[in-house]
Structure 1
C-alpha cells in the first residue's frame, strides 16, 4: 500500500459512521506528511527523535532514535493483531 492508497483508505474509514466533519484523502495526506515528514521538511516524529524523545503511540508501538538511527518497536495490540491475522 502506498501513501495515496493509505490516505484514501484512512479517509474512507474515518467517514464510516462519523458525525464529525469528513476528512478527505488530501487531509489525511497532509497529516501523514506532518507526522512522518517529507524530503523537504522533517515531520513531528523526526523532530522528537532528533531531540532524543521517544514517541509512543499507545498500543500501536513506539519510535526511538539513537546514534542517528530510528527504530520502531511494535506495541502489544499490533503484535497480537498481526498474530491473529497470520494464523
Structure 2
C-alpha cells in the first residue's frame, strides 16, 4: 500500500459505515505528512524521537530509538490481529 492508497483507505474508514466522507483525501494526506513527515519536513514522530522520546500510538504500538536507528514495536492489539488467520 502506497501513501495514496493509505490516504484513500483512511478517508473511507473515517467516513464509517455511512459512506459520506467526513475527511477528504487532501486533509488525510496533510495529517499523515504531519505525523510521519516528508523528505523536506520531519513529522511529529521523527521530532519526538530526535528528542529521545518514545512515541506510543495506543494498541498499535510504539516508536523509539536504538542508537541512531528508529524502531517500531507493535502493540498487543496489532500483534494479535496480525497473528489471526487471513480471511
Query: TM-score, structure 1 length as denominator?
Result: 0.90
Task: Report SS of the residue matched to 2:81.
Answer: helix
RMSD between aligned residues: 1.7
- Tell me, in whole angstroms, the C-alpha distance in 2 between the residues paired with 1:33 and 1:85: 32
Q: Find out whether 1:52 has 2:41 as its counterpart.
A: no
For the 8 Å contact 1:52–1:66, the answer to whether it is kept is no
- Tell me, in whole angstroms, the C-alpha distance in 2 between the residues paired with 1:86 and 1:72: 23
User: Deviations for 1:20-58, whole angstroms, at most 9, x for unmatched residues?
Assistant: x81011111100000000000000000000000000011
Q: Find out whether 1:35 has 2:22 as its counterpart.
A: no
Q: Find out whether 1:72 has 2:72 as its counterpart.
A: yes
Offset at 1:67? 1.8
Q: Which stretches of structure 1, 4 residues or more, deviate above 2 A after TM superposition?
A: none
Offset at 1:13? 1.0
How many residues are treated as equivalent by the alignment?
Answer: 85
- Tell me, in whole angstroms, the C-alpha distance in 2 between the residues paired with 1:54 and 1:86: 31
- Tell me, in whole angstroms, the C-alpha distance in 2 between the residues paired with 1:69 and 1:76: 22
